[in-house]
Amino acid sequence: MKYEYQLRVSPEQAAKKELLLREVSKHSGISTEEIRHIEILKRSIDARQQAVKINLKVDVYVNESMKETPLELPEYPNVRDKEEVFIIGAGPAGLFAALRCIELGKKPVIIERGKDVRDRRRDLKALNIEHVVNEDSNYCFGEGGAGTYSDGKLYTRSKKRGDVNRVLELLVAFGATSEILVDAHPHIGTNKLPAIIASIREKIIEMGGEVLFETRVTDILIENDTIKGIKTLKGEHFNAKNIILATGHSARDIFELLHRKRIKIEAKPFALGVRIEHPQQLIDKIQYKCDDRGEFLPPSPYSIVKQIGGRGMYSFCMCPGGVIAPCATSPGEVVTNGWSPSKRDQPTSNSGIVVELRLNDFKAFGDSPLAAMEFQKSIEQAAWLYGGKTQRVPAQKMVDFVEGRISANLPETSYKPGITSVDLKNVFPEFIHSTLQQGFKEFGKAMRGYYTNEAIIHAPESRTSSPVRIPRDPKTFEHIQIKGLFPCGEGAGYAGGIISAAIDGEKCVESCIRLMNS
């Protein structure tokens, strides 16, 4: 027999089996001897009160053991000789499109400009240590896309739980911890993601799909508004009737290509600001309301949003116990983002703090569909210039930033290439700078202790979402003008984050195959 219960326990009771057993017994009235197994279905942390509690939803098995049913992969057919679907980009959108493509009996051919997860590491090292930006292999480009060397946070605002669970279960079947099915805010960690991505690729190849690395797409061939083929930098030519275009938010050459070929694209508002780093202990103190979080609570995240002068200003992609990474995709620019290992055991926490932008903000760059992208680029280039024309980023202590003072010295940072003390008003347009200045004071009122010179502001955080939308039919997901072209994932403007990109990849290929079969 199995019974479901909801209970609130201390972090220690949630962490230790024998204490949890006693709590469940007390709560349910079932003796500890009768309880064979407790399965945690959902877990969330409630830090609103002085004493932090863990909310649990559990299944309690009485007088019978739980039947372990390990998550299995779908029955993938061999598609070696089947009709091809071309997928450009091996990020979450491209990889999950390929898996679904196989499930539906077609052969995916993934074309990826970057390297596989192992070789990609060397380029990340060169970026961090030698300040060398490889335009095809960096934190955004390469196997697994922008998600590979990330925090691997897996939460999404998607309301369709079925779709989300399907992606989470696939990730577990490919090697992720099953804890991601339980936690309210699941994450995987940079150290674990590459192996999961590699096993997805191995399955795609085993079932007859193809994955071409170090193959940058440079042209999409079109006749009579219909997809005909793909050209690559190496000079290869593929005949293609269908393309899932999943090239991510940083593939500026793809946006430029589409614009040059008069394929309809639109400027899209996004958010831009800075990445801020605090000591993790300080964030724990604020969030858990105690001096030391102890051994049973994880490093605390935070999430904050305020309206400042009519604009939203909010935390983005917060990484507890994490590191700030250099995420430029071309020489001559600097970009920050963050990652953390699965244990989130670094001494610092970082978060993007960004200001909502509107189409009107890009008018200095004309009314081209690339105006938002050019605006984004101009700030990344200014930051590169002021940072010292390397991958060092311009930085300022938080109170100094708000009070308009250049920081006389800067504390240590997790950002490996290094930081340069700069007055960041030189990097940002006035409206972004002043919104951030006001906003940080407001954040300090909402989270006492947050507003401090112990925090370092790194500039800029600029790749929060795509600056371009590639318009598609809402029902078929096909481009509104080009037959056989399926704009997909974050770069096309239809996803934000690993899970929503993966879901969009599945949806695009399902529609593509439905149209192929009709």
Backbone φ/ψ region at 120: left (φ over 0), alpha (ψ -120 to 50), beta:
alpha
Contact between 199 and 350 under an 8 Å Cβ cutoff? The reply is no
Q: Does 277 bind ligand FAD (CB under 6 A)?
A: no
Contact between 387 and 394 under an 8 Å Cβ cutoff? The reply is yes
**Of residues 113 and 392, the one with the C-beta less far from ligand FAD:** 113
**Of residues 152 and 194, the one with the C-beta less far from ligand FAD:** 152
Rg (CA), the chain: 24
Q: What is the closest distance, in whole angstroms, from the C-beta atom of residue 188 to ligand FAD in the complex?
A: 8
* Selected range binding ligand FAD among 120-128, 417-425, 449-457, 486-494, rule: CB under 6 A: 486-494
Q: What is the closest distance, in whole angstroms, from the C-beta atom of residue 505 to ligand FAD in the complex?
A: 7
**Which residues on neighbouring strands pair with residue 419, listed in sequence order?**
393
Q: Does 114 bind ligand FAD (CB under 6 A)?
A: yes
Contact between 242 and 484 under an 8 Å Cβ cutoff? The reply is yes
Q: Which of 150, 342, 376, 435 binds ligand FAD (CB under 6 A)?
A: 150
- The footprint of ligand FAD on residues 75-94 (CB under 6 A) is 88-94
Q: Which of 61, 86, 141, 477 binds ligand FAD (CB under 6 A)?
A: 141
Q: Tally helices (H) and strands (E) across the chain.
A: 12, 22
Q: Does 211 bind ligand FAD (CB under 6 A)?
A: no
* Selected range binding ligand FAD among 29-37, 107-115, 265-273, 293-301, rule: CB under 6 A: 107-115
Closest CA to 186 of 171, 201, 173: 171
Letters for 237-276 (x = contact with ligand FAD by CB under 6 A, - = none) are ---------xxx--x-xx----------------------
- The footprint of ligand FAD on residues 55-74 (CB under 6 A) is none
> The tokens of 461 are what?
């955080």
CA distance 427 to 430: 9
Applying CB under 6 A, the site for ligand FAD has a residue count of 43
Letters for 373-402 (x = contact with ligand FAD by CB under 6 A, - = none) are ------------------------------
Q: What is the closest distance, in whole angstroms, from the C-beta atom of residue 8 to ligand FAD in the complex?
A: 28
* Selected range binding ligand FAD among 1-9, 140-148, 163-171, 371-379, rule: CB under 6 A: 140-148
Residue matched to tokens 């830090």: 47
Q: Which of 9, 501, 508, 509 binds ligand FAD (CB under 6 A)?
A: 501
Letters for 217-236 (x = contact with ligand FAD by CB under 6 A, - = none) are x-------------------
**Of residues 308 and 353, the one with the C-beta less far from ligand FAD:** 353
CA distance 84 to 104: 12
* Selected range binding ligand FAD among 17-25, 286-294, 402-410, 497-505, rule: CB under 6 A: 497-505
**Of residues 11 and 92, the one with the C-beta less far from ligand FAD:** 92
**Of residues 154 and 402, the one with the C-beta less far from ligand FAD:** 154
Q: What is the closest distance, in whole angstroms, from the C-beta atom of residue 324 to ligand FAD in the complex?
A: 9
**Of residues 88 and 176, the one with the C-beta less far from ligand FAD:** 88
Measuring CA to CA, how many Å separate 127 from each of 416, 422, 485, 491? 9, 22, 34, 23
- The footprint of ligand FAD on residues 426-455 (CB under 6 A) is none
Question: Phi and psi dihedrals of 464, rounded to 5?
Answer: -80, -35
Measuring CA to CA, how many Å separate 459 from each of 274, 277, 333, 334, 379? 5, 11, 11, 8, 9
Measuring CA to CA, how many Å separate 16 from each of 9, 52, 187, 265? 11, 16, 21, 54
CA distance 174 to 115: 20
Residue type, 77: P
Question: Phi and psi dihedrals of 148, rounded to 5?
Answer: -70, -50
CA distance 161 to 184: 13
Mapped onto helix, strand or coil, the DSSP state of residue 161 is helix
393-397 vs 456-461, strand pairing mode: antiparallel
**Which residues on neighbouring strands pair with residue 274, listed in sequence order?**
353
* Selected range binding ligand FAD among 63-71, 112-120, 396-404, 428-436, rule: CB under 6 A: 112-120
Q: Which of 61, 86, 139, 314 binds ligand FAD (CB under 6 A)?
A: 139
Question: Phi and psi dihedrals of 116, rounded to 5?
Answer: -70, 165
Q: Which of 113, 131, 203, 268 binds ligand FAD (CB under 6 A)?
A: 113
- Count of Cβ atoms closer than 10 Å to residue 169 Cβ: 18
**What are the residues binding ligand FAD (CB under 6 A)?**
88-94, 111-114, 139-142, 145-147, 150-153, 216-217, 246-248, 251, 253-254, 317, 325, 327, 337, 339, 489-491, 495-498, 501
